[in-house]
Amino acid sequence: MRVLLTGGAGFIGHHIVEQLLRVTDWEIVLLDRLEHGGNLNRLAEVLTATAARQRVAWQFHDLRAPLSTQLVKQIGPVDVVLHVAAATHVDRSIAAPLDFVWDNVLGTAHILEYARQVGVGKFVFFGTDEVFGPAPEGTAYREWDRYNSGNPYSATKAGAEELSVAYRNTYKLPVIVTHTMNVFGERQHPEKYIPMTIRKVRDGERVTVHASADRTKAGSRFYIHAHNVVSALLFLLEKGEVGEKYNIVGEREVDNLELARMIAAIQNRPLDYEMVDFHSARPGHDLRYALSGEKMATMGWKLPLNFEVALEQVVHWTLRNTNWL
């Protein structure tokens, strides 16, 4: 099988490459433009460590432009498209919303149109929990619940997801949609909360914890390691139903103060932190996200890697590979 993976040099993309080379014999064609999120050093580390690197090909392309006839020829026939490429990070979407429209909405339209024209067996759109907006206590959104985007990033991902659904309904493109919660792992961009907290604890700096308006309750997420996400993607490629949506969820909710304390304990260092009412200062940052993982669990999928074990592995790995901080 041949897989076209957009955003292959990104954080999640390179973990997909690593796992596909390890557990399959598939050929992988990567599409990336190598800007903020893309980093060939990720791929270099992954590919250098395996003799299977000859199964990986790479094509440079910016999805804000359509795929040219020449590029389509260079990619060659593919069986599956994994559309992971996206502009991420809420802060940057607030500062430059139109960039996110170009990257996430228009970019998705171009890869959908490519897939429609060449024909593929499956098209997996990699979505986010943030399209549902903040989740009140006790609420865990299901796959087909309404959207309530809280910032330009989530709004553009919702638009891209709806385009994917439309291509399924209009053109019968074999689309599967996922919603994934906060992913962490090795080689993550240092702007993200976990690597940033690892560095700040190591260096004795103060960690900012986003909290409620009264600064008493920290924001929370269902963090999930990238290897678990790839496991879910492989599961859905085998057992997922075309036209359906699936939530990929970590096993338990963790608030960001608890998470910072865990990171400090793993390093055996004290935690200097400050609770900040970040949402009031920067609208668009949601205190709590939560998805129901019942659908995937009912299908038989289980997370292969425990959260606490995964977090400890990532902290130790990052401290040994400080160039990623």
Known catalytic membership, residue 129: yes
Check whether 140 has a pLDDT greater than 80: yes
Confidence of residue 243 (pLDDT cuts 50, 70, 90): very high
Q: What is the pLDDT of residue 320?
A: 97
Check whether 177 has a pLDDT greater than 80: yes
| Options 1.10.357.10, 3.40.50.920, 3.10.105.10, 3.90.25.10; CATH of 189-221+253-287+306-324 | 3.90.25.10
Expressed in angstroms, the distance from the first to the final Cα of the chain is: 36
Report the length, in residues, of the chain.
325
- The catalytic residue among 114, 153, 167, 246 is 153
| Options 3.40.1640.10, 3.40.190.10, 3.40.47.10, 3.40.50.720; CATH of 2-183+222-248 | 3.40.50.720
**Lowest pLDDT segment from 147-156, 276-285, 308-317:** 276-285
Contact 274, 206 (CB under 8 A): yes
pTM for this structure? 0.94
CATH 3.40.50.720 in the chain is located at 2-183+222-248
Q: What is the pLDDT of residue 281?
A: 60
Reference 153, options 103, 202, 187; nearest CA is: 103
> How many Cβ atoms from other residues are within 10 Å of residue 255's Cβ?
18
| φ and ψ of 280, to 5 deg | -65, -35
Q: How far apart are CA 129 and CA 135, in angstroms?
A: 10
- The catalytic residue among 18, 32, 103, 130 is 130
CATH 3.90.25.10 in the chain is located at 189-221+253-287+306-324
Pairing type for strands 80-83 and 2-6 reads parallel
Question: Tell me: the pLDDT tens digits for 107-131?
Answer: 999 999 999 999 999 999 999 999 9
Q: How far is CA 3 from the centre of its chain?
A: 18
Q: How far apart are CA 95 and CA 141, in angstroms?
A: 28
The two three-digit tokens of residue 105, written as one number: 């909405």
Known catalytic membership, residue 130: yes
Known catalytic membership, residue 153: yes
Q: How far is CA 300 from the centre of its chain?
A: 22
Q: How far apart are CA 65 and CA 110, in angstroms?
A: 7
Confidence of residue 91 (pLDDT cuts 50, 70, 90): confident
- The catalytic residue among 103, 129, 145, 286 is 129
Reference 305, options 246, 236, 224; nearest CA is: 224
